[in-house]
Chains A and B, each alone.
Chain A
Amino acid sequence: MMHIRGIFSILLALAISPPLFAQTVQSKPGATAAEVQAKRASPASARTASPGSLAPLPLKPAPASSHAPFEAGDCKICHQSADPKQPGPVVKKGPTLCLECHEEFAGVMKRPHTHAPARGDCTSCHNPHNANYRKLLLQEPRALCTSCHDAIAKIVANAAVPHKAVTSGAQCTNCHNPHGSTVEKLLVQLPFDLCASCHNVDTMIDAKGKKLQNLKVWLDNNKNWHGPVAAKDCSSCHEPHGSAHFRLLKEDYPPEFYAPYDPRTYALCFSCHQESAFSTAQTSTLTSFRNGSTNLHFLHLQQSGRGRTCRACHEVHASKQDNHIREGVPYGSGGWVLKLHYKKTASGGSCEKTCHSEKTYVNKPAR
């Protein structure tokens, strides 16, 4: 008799399991809502789907988050029946049901950029009953996101220089709104506004313990901003998910102030600026840093035995002086900073009492 009861229990569990134990299926970025639904329905997806069931989790140990109607035992808010053991199918399909209470998301989903899983099925990411992660998420944010966004997963996994915004706290949702946003790539704000919201303290350090710049203070005090900064596009130069290069840079940037000229060292700068502007000895068009047609960038960079790198003269984010000229450059091993007294003039510019005595350049005809 006990044996029969046990078998009956198993059979009963199997009978009610399909609606409760539906596996969530992750879709690849760019998938339409229909593709998300189709993938969920596919038998193959059950074998390859990411971990995360939609069934209620056991109540002990207590889940991290619980959906109010489930917690209150009000199955009929979402299901056809009030019976928790056999609640039956949901009364409406897709986000329509969720939006009856989560009405603010109707507005969110009208934003210009929306997330396909959010358009198609809230249960792509959320367990509608309870979950071991906050906000009823099926997994912790980064694991959940990278189950579809595998290219990002690879960047994060292989990064020699990790970004704490990705690896800690709310992880991906530190920067991205997973439902809808006014900015591309579901960013909560433009890159600069996001980055500056954290990089605005004196206490931030990198993985090696080196202090990072307080960007807000720096930009407040230096009004000549580099183009990408003015365009609020930090990701022009930085890879926010993690990078092989220091300071999360996308490409190589010369770490030294003096080095023989090698264009490969300037891969970051040359991703925007023309290499020919620095390797052409004579030009009247490629650069305004010229005396007549003598290219002064060429002169400074290609000097035999003492080529200057970009950072010798330029600040990368912002400067007080025009043309992003820095105030001073370290010279020698004694810690002395050589001031760069740069002056922009109507016909060009000049540098005085610096690496050399005053020198003036003219790149425009005199009026």
Chain B
Amino acid sequence: MLFRPALRLALLLALTAGASSLHPASAAHAAIGAEVSNAEMPLLEGGKAYALGEVAANVLVFFRPKQERSLEALRELAQCQGGLSGKSVRWAAVVSDSAPADEIAAIMRDTGFTAPVLVDRGDALYGSLGLALHPVVVLIGKDKRLAAFEPFRSVDFCTVVAARIRHALGEISDAELQEILSPPKATQGGSVQVARRYRAFAEALLKDQKADKALEMVRKSLDKDPLLAPAHALLGKILATQGKCADAIPAFSKALELDAESATAKEGLEGCKSVR
């Protein structure tokens, strides 16, 4: 009886060192794109179920008891599940048959991760997928082929797993997936930002009828970023307020050169030309 499932598992993909195409080789799993056979496995709570469902994304979460990383992973995935509810996704936890059932049940309860628990007899599925660690999320697409392996990571685990699933569902493109896997640097500050602050300060000062101080601040803005169109426009506006249209017109012109749509520069230029 057990021979057929074992045989099916034995026919699983070749154990070459393929890995995600988006990172250099990490050989702790089988080849991406390889076909996965759908074996029937015992459930922790009794009965049996197939490893894969008829969905667009099967998510198998391999974990083990007495491992802090497994607990962390399941807690994070519990939160992740909410964001993917209603989609064609089937979650399943996979544990070794050597793991005590009561411990596994307690872990599922305590972490809030909701999924049937498949018991992997003799670690057959684990071995056939070429896994070498826990916890790991294995994603199988609707074509029953391996789409991704994601071992637990201490930062952005749910973000990455959710992105992988959404990619498998066709909701995000390769480029969007890559953006999530390699997010841009979260910078702040720099000369451009400081320039914008000085510009905003100058605007507030002009509003408070402090044209001289406003002029000082807008010039500081342009020192930081000579290409800041709103700063050139504001410079023109301040100079025009002071009755210095001859100096204002070049500032308005520069603003329009940098930003042809600048309303402040257009109005100011028109105003100064009509005065002439």
Task: Choose the segment among A25-33, A227-235, A328-336 that binds chain B (4+ C-beta atoms closer than 8 Å).
Answer: A227-235
Q: Is B141 an interface residue (CB 8 A)?
A: no
Assess whether B275 is interfacial by the CB under 8 Å rule: no
Contacts of B173 in A (CB 8 A): none
Interchain CB contact under 8 A, B25 and A285: no
Is B154 interfacial (CB-CB < 8 Å)?
A: yes
Contact with B along A264-304 (1 / 0, CB 8 A): 00000001111011000001111110000000000000000
- Are B183 and A274 interface neighbours, CB within 8 A? no
> In the complex, which residues of chain A have a beta carbon less than 8 angstroms from the beta carbon of B258?
none
Name the residue on A nearest B210 (C-beta).
A74
What is the minimal beta-carbon distance from B271 to any residue of chain A, in angstroms? Answer: 26
Question: Which residues of chain A (321-339) have a CB below 8 Å from chain B?
Answer: 322-324
Total A-B residue pairs with C-beta atoms closer than 8 Å?
149
The verdict on A207 contacting chain B, using a C-beta distance below 8 Å, is no
Beta-carbon contact of A101 and B64 below 8 Å: no
Distance, CA A236 to CA B152, complexed state (A): 9
* Cβ contact within 8 Å between B213 and A101: no
CB distance from A294 to the nearest CB of B (A): 15
Output the nearest chain B residue to A68 by Cβ-Cβ distance: B201
CB distance from B156 to the nearest CB of A (A): 5
A72 to B205, CA, bound (A): 10
B27 at the interface (CB under 8 A from A): yes
B72 to chain A, nearest CB (A): 11
Contact of A288 with B15 in the complex, beta carbons under 8 Å: yes
| Complex: A145 Cα to B37 Cα, angstroms | 51
- On whether the beta carbons of A77 and B201 are closer than 8 Å, the reply is yes
* Neighbouring A residues of B182 by C-beta, 8 Å: 190, 193, 232
Give CA–CA (A284, B252) in the complex, Å.
77
Q: Report A172-197 residues with CB < 8 Å from chain B CB.
A: 177, 179-191, 193
Contact B24 A271 (CB under 8 A): no
A:37-77 near B, CB below 8 Å? 68-69, 72, 74, 76-77
Instruction: Give the docked Cα–Cα distance between A235 and B155 (Å).
Output: 8
For residue B159, CB closer than 8 A to chain A, the reply is yes
Chain B: residues with Cβ within 8 Å of the partner, total of 52
Beta-carbon contact of A285 and B183 below 8 Å: no
Those of A156-210 within 8 Å (CB) of chain B: 177, 179-191, 193
Whether A103 is near chain B, meaning CB under 8 Å from some CB there, is yes
Q: A225 contacts B133, CB within 8 Å?
A: no
Size category of the A interface is 35 or more
A contact residues around B197 at 8 Å (CB):
68, 101-103
- A77, B17: Cβ atoms closer than 8 Å: no
B232 within 8 A of A: no
Known: A74-B213, A76-B208. A285 touches B126 (CB 8 A): yes
Chain B residues, Cβ within 8 Å of A69: 201, 204
A352 located at the interface, meaning its Cβ lies under 8 Å from any Cβ of chain B in the complex: no
Decide if B45 is an interface residue (CB 8 Å cutoff): no
B98 within 8 A of A: yes
- Docked-complex contact B133 and A273, CB < 8 angstroms: yes
Q: In chain A between 83 and 120, which residues have their CB closer than 8 angstroms to a CB of chain B?
A: 100-105, 108, 111-112
Q: Which 10 A-B pairs have the closest CB atoms?
A: A285-B127, A181-B186, A230-B26, A101-B200, A233-B153, A285-B123, A272-B133, A182-B183, A230-B23, A227-B26
Name 12 A/B residue pairs within 8 A (Cβ), A-sorted.
Answer: A68-B198, A101-B197, A112-B159, A191-B154, A225-B23, A228-B151, A230-B19, A233-B153, A273-B133, A285-B126, A322-B17, A364-B15
Query: Interface residues, chain B, CB within 8 Å of chain A?
Result: 14-15, 17, 19-20, 23-28, 64, 67-69, 98, 122-124, 126-128, 130, 132-134, 150-151, 153-156, 159, 182-188, 193, 196-198, 200-201, 204-205, 208, 210, 213, 217
